[in-house]
Amino acid sequence: MQLGNTQIVDTFAEAFGMVYTRLIITAFDDHWLMAAANELCGYGSSVIACDAEVGIEHFLTADQSPDGRPAVSILAFGFSADALTKAVSNRVGQCVMTCASTAVFDGLPAAEKRLPLGKSLRYFGDGFQKSKVVAGTRYWRIPVMDGEFFCVESLGIEKGVAGGNIIFQAVDQATALTAARKAIDALAPQPEVIAPFPGGVARSGSKVGSRYKTLRASTSDTNCPTLRGRVESQVVEGANCVLEIVLDGTSEEAVAAGMKTALHAAAIEGILAISAGNYGGKLGKFHFHLKDLV
């Protein structure tokens, strides 16, 4: 298949079921909002080694913001509710409660399954914390040095999908980076999906397992241009730089839509081929065939 001058490889991305939560963070202005968001999302690229996969979903307008201040929606994914609870509580306590002027609200108020947040963090108030019910939702007011940290008692948890991906092969690094920026910019306004790697892009794509027994994953050697000739390479002739965009979403449909957006935006001049990563269909139950996204 061709999309312009780009070959679309007849393959599929293999993704996995995970659970996720949505946090709405507000702050005094955009500077402090981004300070909190960047800290919260840090070290949240892959659950291969991180406690969660975390990223900015989208920014909210003033009328969407729960308190009228600058606001951002953040999605966090984990393999289990228990693991996600620990990761989110630690991240909010260390990265948001510490950030001047912030407050945290629940982005999934209708979800039946909950993870405790303010319910746990309130103890930092050392007995001076107070609870307040607003429109049927309980919040905690934790005294801090700039006033109070206003935090929702719990967050909703839902089932999501993680690991949708596209892999694009470019004539050189500059072209690959340009395509990456175009794809991530196109994804930015799209709700229900995040690209958790740095800048939305992974250069160190991985395969399951390693020749070293202590490693769960290792470099995707078949997609490394420098290893062409030493392995059964998937890098096409003329390609010298390969990058990957990995997507997590609130549903199978959200991930498919995100992959389609990224694929079309990345297919610029100099991108010779776009493929996807999978494990032969043996590990993840969600399969996204590129031919269905063109």
Last residue of a domain, one of 108, 138, 158: 158
Nearby residues of 94 by Cβ (< 8 Å), 6 or more positions away: 39
Report CA-CA distances (Å) from 271 to 179, 261, 289.
8, 16, 19
Which among 194, 183, 186, 188 is positioned nearest to 254, based on CA atoms? 194
Could you tell me the residue range of the domain that residue 26 belongs to? 18-158
Region of 230 on the Ramachandran plot (φ > 0 left; ψ -120 to 50 alpha; else beta): alpha
Same domain, 208 and 84: no
Same domain, 167 and 277: yes
Which among 9, 57, 5 is positioned nearest to 293, based on CA atoms? 9
Specify burial of residue 17 (Cβ count, 10 A radius: 0-12, 13-18, 19+). Answer: middle
Last residue of a domain, one of 129, 158, 187: 158
Give first-to-last CA distance, the chain, whole Å: 9
Same domain, 227 and 99: no
Last residue of a domain, one of 123, 158, 193: 158
CATH code for the domain in which residue 100 is found: 3.30.70.520
Same domain, 153 and 165: no
pLDDT of residue 101: 98
Per-residue pLDDT 10s for the chain (294 aa) are: 999 999 999 999 999 999 999 999 999 999 999 999 999 999 999 999 999 999 999 999 999 999 999 999 999 999 999 999 999 999 999 999 999 999 999 999 999 999 999 999 999 999 999 999 999 999 999 999 999 999 999 999 999 999 999 999 999 999 999 999 999 999 999 999 999 999 999 999 999 899 999 999 999 999 999 999 999 999 999 999 999 999 999 999 999 999 999 999 999 999 999 999 998 888 899 999 999 999
SS (H, E, C) 244-294: EEEEEECCHHHHHHHHHHHHHHHCCCCEEEEECCCCCCCCCCEEEEHHHCC
Helix (H) or strand (E) holding 85: helix 81-91
Q: What domain count does the chain have?
A: 2
Same domain, 173 and 91: no
Same domain, 235 and 177: yes
Same domain, 168 and 269: yes
Same domain, 24 and 125: yes
pLDDT of residue 246: 98
Q: Are 56 and 107 in contact (CB under 8 A)?
A: no
Same domain, 134 and 31: yes
Same domain, 197 and 72: no
3-state secondary structure of 34: helix
pLDDT of residue 91: 98
pTM here is: 0.95
Specify burial of residue 181 (Cβ count, 10 A radius: 0-12, 13-18, 19+). Answer: middle
Same domain, 154 and 23: yes
Same domain, 104 and 198: no
